Every structure is written in C-alpha cells, then in structure tokens.
Amino acid sequence: MSNLTTVRSIRDAVRSGARSAVEVCEQSLARIEAENPALNAFNTVTRAQALARAAAVDAQPDRAALALAGVPVAVKDNLCTRGVRTTASSKILEQFVPPFDATVVARLEAAGAIVIGKTNCDEFAMGSSNENSGYGPVRNPWDTGRVPGGSSGGSAAAVAARIVPAALGSETGGSVRQPAALCGIVGVKPTYGRVSRYGLVAFGSSLDQVSVFGLTVRDAALVLQTIAGRDERDATTADVEVPDYVGNLGGDLKGARIGVPSALFGEGLDADVRARVEDAVNAYRDLGAEIVDVELPHAGYSIAVYYIIATAEASSNLARYDGVRYGFRAEDPKDLREMYRRTREEGFGAEVKRRIMLGTYVLSSGYYDAYYLKAQQVRTLIRRDFLNAFEKCDAVLTPTSPTPAFRLGEKTDDPLSMYLSDIYTCMANLAGVPGISVPCGLTPSGLPVGFQLMGRHWGESDIIRLAHAYEQAHPLTERPGVRAEG
C-alpha cells in the first residue's frame, strides 16, 4: 500500500483489483488528518462524497478502461463542485454551494478520479504566497515557517506532502508553476485555450488557465491530457487535438534546442536558485540537447504589464460580487447602494480590494490609454519575443521563481515585492504559451528549487518530453520533513 505514491501506480492497482479505490481513498483521507493541522492545505474535505465515489469506481465493471481509476485528487477551491462549497478562499463566498461542476472536475470524475477535498489558496487566486486566504495561510511541507507559494498553495502542499499524487490549481500569472517550484513538485500550465475555464471562478479571463500539479512529470501529463480539449461551455477553448502526452515521453534529446535568456539570470535572482538552474542547463547539454542563447527583450516589463492587465480584468470580473445573486450580503443596509458598498467592504480581503482599486484606476477615464492600452501593446511585444525565440529553439528555460520559499510575513507589507515573485512566470500567461516547472534540487538550507520550460502555443508535448528527460536523469529524491508515511 505504501508504495502507491504515483497516479500511475494507483490507477494500475485499482484497475487490476490489487487495491480497492476505497482503500486508497481512506489512505488519502488519513493523510489529510495527519498533515492538514500543520499545513492548512484544505478548506473543505469531501470525505463522504469521496468514499461513495470510490465505492462506485470499485463497483464499475469497466474500471480497467478508466484513465484515472481510483486516483485521489485535490482541487483548488476556486473550481466549482456541485453540492460542495466553493469559496475561492474568500469570505464573500463562504456559503456558496455551486449547482454545477467545473468541466475539469466533471472530466476528472468521469475518468475515475476521486476528489477528496477543496484546497486553500489566495483569495480569488490573488497572491504569490497563499497568505491572502480568508481561511489562514497554507504552510510549506518542507519548512512550515515558510510559504508554499501561491496562489494554488494548498494544492501544491497537498501533493508535496504525499496526501494526493496530483491536484488541480489555476494560473493567472504563475500560480501553479511558482508553488510547484517552492514545494519541490511538478506544475504544468497548458496553452491558453487548451483547458476549459467553465466553472473556474474568474480572475483575469484573458490569462486564467486551469493547471496541474503532480509528483512526477508523467503524472502531471496524464492528468492534463484527461482534462484538456474543446469544451463548448468555454468559447475560448480551441478545437485542437490533444496529443497523447504520456505516449510521447521518452527518446533521446538529440536535436532538441533549449533557449536560455541569460539576460534574465541577473538582478533579483537568488544565488542558490541561479546555481541549481545553471546545473539544469548543463544537465540538458549532457543529455544531448543544444543550448542556444535567446533574447526576450520585453520580458523585463512583464510584471508591470501583468499587474495592469490582470487587475483591470479582475476589477470587471469581481463586480459580480454584489450581494444579490449569491455569496455574502452585509446586514441591514439602508438602501441598495449601501448594500453593494458594505457587502464588498466586509466580504473582500485587503489584496482583493487593492487589485480592484488598481484595476478600476487603470481602466478609468483619462488613464485607460496610458496604462491599459499601453500594457496591451507591450503584451503584443512580449508575444512577439516568444515567437522570435521559438525560431531558434524548442523551449525557453528560466528559473521558475527568483527565490526559494520565503518566510511567512516576509513580504506581506510590500505588495510590489510580492508581485515580483511572478517575474519569470507571468510572461507565459501574457503570451498564452505553455510552461512546466520541474524540481532541480535543493538549496544548501534544504529548500526546493525549480526551473521552468516554456514552449510554443499548443506545444505542451515538447516541453513535457524535455521535462521528463531531465527528471529521469535527475529525480528529486529528497522528501519534505512533515511526517510522511514511507
């Protein structure tokens, strides 16, 4: 039982009947009980529903055909689950029980996966440390005095602590890759339009994409190919064939070209992170890949562009929280206008208010051209930088995060320094290209480091194959210190 730590091993054991889905589910639920008091990774544990669903998988005669038969998964609490409270870690949605499932949740369950809980995150996915949650911060399994990253910190911590072998998060500017790096696991953000956003609580609609955490590249790829593909309920999903990411793994790296934008390895990059990522570059050279210099001349502007565009979209998306149709309403308002204002004052946390304010400002009359329009134009230049880079290489390699996991409270008084945690990740969201973060060792003080590969639009297969080749040669063998049954 104890060696069932990967999606594939669990799936195979449940398919063959060597293990029941109920046993596996109970093991996962026990891991939550053991670890969650220290981690605060879950907002809601769906024990009864999960056990019932696991029993249904066990009773299914054709379970050998299920891609994720009996695999326990955790789902970020900004993905709607029918009949199960979905808070987006906001007090304004504390009592919200969706009448429908997000498409990705429905697809996971149709494939035999068992959702065991909803994970803590930054409120409305706004944050890089998980400290903006309305339900308390998540802690990093490698050092519970440090953040797991954000915004999908609960999903990352749940996978790193071996509670589940895979989990869903969402990205707007790096909210899966960055916590994956800080927690020593794999995180993959697909191309914009690859995965349905139906049932994902909206933040920045032109940037948001459901993304996947796994302990291994193969597991993350398997989950991604299960949830990917056109959904008529999300008009931005594309009718592009989903490759068999797992089937394409393997082979040597001869002829593969990895682009390294060395100009981005300077100011602000932690020396230990830099050393580990440079080791990864050398490892690729040893594996037979060609390392080429590339330039992304506008990458340095990506944080400025991102925080203009993402907050503008957020200010519009979050206008729906008005106390009328769902969610919290302030008590005894004297009229409608006061109800709106007090509902939003009492229901939203500080970071969400800050971003609504910023987004409203950059969209307001007189500032629209100078900020929002200008940022959209620079977004075009960032996209073009990637297109130019991919003339010379198949993937762009950078650090995922400029630092390892930082201490709780270290950046909470300085929003701008927190925003800079996304410096390497948000450019992929702006360009719409896929990215994957892979663990590449520990710092001398024992904290995980990750590098990321960014690929061409619809080119997840290429970066997943490259990531897998590195992982096979240099697997992260260390485990986090929280109690983990081995």
Partner 1 sequence: MLAFAMPPAFSRSDVDKIAALAHLRLSEEEIELFTRQLADILEYANQVQRIDTTGVPPTASVVTRHEADRADEVRPSLTREDALANAPDASLDAGLFKVPRVIG
Contact residue for partner 1 among 375, 396, 440, 453 (CB under 8 A): 375
Alpha-carbon span 397 to 277, nearest angstrom: 9
Q: Tokens standing for 470?
A: 């590195």
The runs of H, that is alpha helices, within 7-112 are: 7-16, 21-39, 47-59, 103-110
76 a catalytic residue: yes
Q: Which of 151, 211, 401, 437 is catalytic?
A: 151
What angle do helix axes 460-473 and 271-286 make, rounded to 10 degrees?
100
* Given 33, 244, 345, 478, the residue binding partner 1 (CB under 8 A): 345
Per CB under 8 A, which of residues 428..447 are in contact with partner 1?
430-432
Give the chain's count of helices (H) and strands (E).
15, 11
370 lines the binding site for partner 1 (CB under 8 A):
yes
Minimum separation from the CB atom of position 383 to partner 1 (A): 6
State how far the alpha carbon of 69 is from the alpha carbons of 9, 203, 413, in Å. 10, 32, 45
How many chain residues interact with partner 1 (CB under 8 A)? 76
In the set 59, 334, 444, 445, which binds partner 1 (CB under 8 A)?
334
Is 302 marked active-site? no
Tell me the C-alpha distance between 126 and 422, whole Å: 12
Site for partner 1 contains 377 (CB under 8 A) = yes
Query: Cβ 80 to partner 1, closest distance in Å?
Result: 11
Which 279-308 positions form the footprint of partner 1 (CB under 8 A)?
298, 301, 303-305, 307-308
Q: Which of 128, 129, 175, 315 is catalytic?
A: 175
Query: Cβ–Cβ contacts within 10 Å for residue 391, how many?
Result: 8
Among 27, 248, 360, 472, binds partner 1 (CB under 8 A): 360
Sheet holding 290-293, edge to edge: 42-45, 114-119, 72-76, 166-171, 209-214, 186-189, 435-442, 448-454, 395-399, 257-260, 290-293
Residues 204-263 that bind partner 1 (CB under 8 A): 206, 230, 232, 235-236, 238-240
Should residue 353 be labelled a site residue for partner 1 when binding is judged by CB under 8 A? yes
Cis before 211 (ω within 30):
no
Contact with partner 1 (CB under 8 A): which of 24, 32, 358, 482? 358
Residue that has been written with the tokens 């809601």 in this structure: 44
How many residues appear in the chain?
Answer: 486
Cβ at position 202, least distance to partner 1 in Å: 14
Q: x/- contact string, 90-129, with partner 1 (CB under 8 A)?
A: -----xxx-xx-----------------------------
- Scan residues 140-199 and list those touching partner 1 (CB under 8 A): 192-193
Give phi and psi for 254, each to the nearest 5.
-60, 130
Q: Smallest distance from the beta carbon of 116 to partner 1, in angstroms?
A: 24
Catalytic center residues: 76, 151, 175
